[in-house]
Structure 1
Amino acid sequence: MKKEIITTSALLGMASIAALVLHAQDKPLQTVQYVELDKYLGKWYEIAAFPQSFEKGCSHTYAEYTLNEDGSIHVKNTCIKNGKVKVANGKAIVTDKSTNAKLDVQFFWPFKGKYWIIGLGHDYSYALVGHPNRKYLWILGRKPVMDSQTYNHLVTLAANKGFDVRNLVKTAQE
């Protein structure tokens, strides 16, 4: 009987997430109100993400953002893959100057990806980044490990914004 209650509760929880995602996906993706780029620059550890082919097999993933002379942002993504350090360099351009929360990131010409900051700690200790199509999502932190309360807050925020958080996979950082 107890096992049936737990199973039923889990199924109801998953159904609730699915309903929330479907409802929120109909709305435009909202970003944070404003990003102070100087505070956003620096090193960010990937705490969790939706799996993507370009990150397959990666662990110890982090990004470093620095300001270029032309005002664009240099993006340096690093991970460990098959025991070797892999680095990808790219460039980000702010596409919404009123918020600084919408950027286009390019690693290979002519392909660009949308990088929208949809959650941000008041002290810039964590960030939630997604794509308006809701197929890309990253939880980032300034430290390689994030406390469970902050992590759960960001997962809930992502679900409320229409992301199917059942697809989130934590990134090995230890």
Structure 2
Amino acid sequence: MKKLLLVLSVLLLTSCLGMPDKVKPVNNFELNKYLGKWYEIARLDHSFERGLSNVSASYSLNKDGSVKVLNKGFLSASNEWQEAEGKAYFVDSTDEGYLKVSFFGPFYGSYVVFELDHEGYQYAFVSGPNNDYLWLLARTSKVPPAIVDKFISMSQSRGFNTNEVIWVEHDQ
């Protein structure tokens, strides 16, 4: 757990607010619909998530209006669950899918929702500050092939290396 928090902290120290050139946050974003549990379906590899399966992110409101972020994943190498808790705030407008997230002090990284199922909030495509950070999140641990195809297509067109995408195992 300490290693995960340390790595997340280092990541955020070297991260910045911003987004890849071809990425634009969604408009008409509704936080209340976004809150709750999301399963990580796919991601680009990073040391802070390396080896994790059964990864999920839960979002809830804090009393101060910020968003509580609780990331959880299972590390089979040590047979244990790992968690990281952070806070998120909107960068610009509250109806734009562009937030800043911190897992350590005053250091923030970008969280950019660039595609979203606006009707049911069942899937989201998320970027970080550059093309090294990419996630496909969903409300269920499996998504239809059409969503996977859309994720790959939209991500490639925005400059992400989709050949490096890791498909997250969910067996617990």
Task: Verify same fold: TM over 0.5.
Answer: yes
In the TM superposition, residue 132 of structure 1 has moved relative to its aligned partner by: 3.7
In the TM superposition, residue 51 of structure 1 has moved relative to its aligned partner by: 0.4
Is the 2:72–2:84 Cα contact (8 Å) retained in structure 1?
A: yes
Report SS of the residue matched to 1:55.
coil
CA distance in 2 between partners of 1:94 and 1:161 (Å): 22
CA distance in 1 between partners of 2:45 and 2:127 (Å): 13
In the TM superposition, residue 167 of structure 1 has moved relative to its aligned partner by: 1.6
In the TM superposition, residue 137 of structure 1 has moved relative to its aligned partner by: 0.2
Is the 1:28–1:132 Cα contact (8 Å) retained in structure 2?
A: no
Q: CA RMSD in A?
A: 1.6
The unaligned stretches of length 5 or more in structure 2 are 1-18
Partner of 1:51: 45
In the TM superposition, residue 39 of structure 1 has moved relative to its aligned partner by: 0.1
Report the CA distance shift for 1:98/1:70 in structure 2 as closer, same or farther (over 3 A): closer
**Equivalences, count:** 150
- After TM superposition, list the pairs within 5 Å mapping 1:19-168 onto structure 2: 27-81=21-75, 82-97=78-93, 99-122=95-118, 123-168=120-165
Partner of 1:8: none
Alignment-mate amino acid for residue 137 of structure 2: L
TM-score of the pair, normalised by structure 1: 0.81
Structure with more of its chain in helix, by fraction:
1
CA distance in 2 between partners of 1:98 and 1:89 (Å): 21
Q: How high is the sequence identity, in percent, across the aligned residues?
A: 37
The unaligned stretches of length 5 or more in structure 1 are 1-24
Bigger Rg, structure 1 or 2: 1
CA distance in 2 between partners of 1:162 and 1:67 (Å): 33
Alignment-mate amino acid for residue 33 of structure 1: N
CA distance in 1 between partners of 2:152 and 2:53 (Å): 20
Report the CA distance shift for 1:113/1:132 in structure 2 as closer, same or farther (over 3 A): closer
CA distance in 1 between partners of 2:101 and 2:152 (Å): 23
CA deviation map 1:81-109 (0-9, x unaligned): 12111111100011121533111110112
Is the 2:20–2:129 Cα contact (8 Å) retained in structure 1?
A: no
CA distance in 2 between partners of 1:96 and 1:126 (Å): 22
In the TM superposition, residue 144 of structure 1 has moved relative to its aligned partner by: 0.7
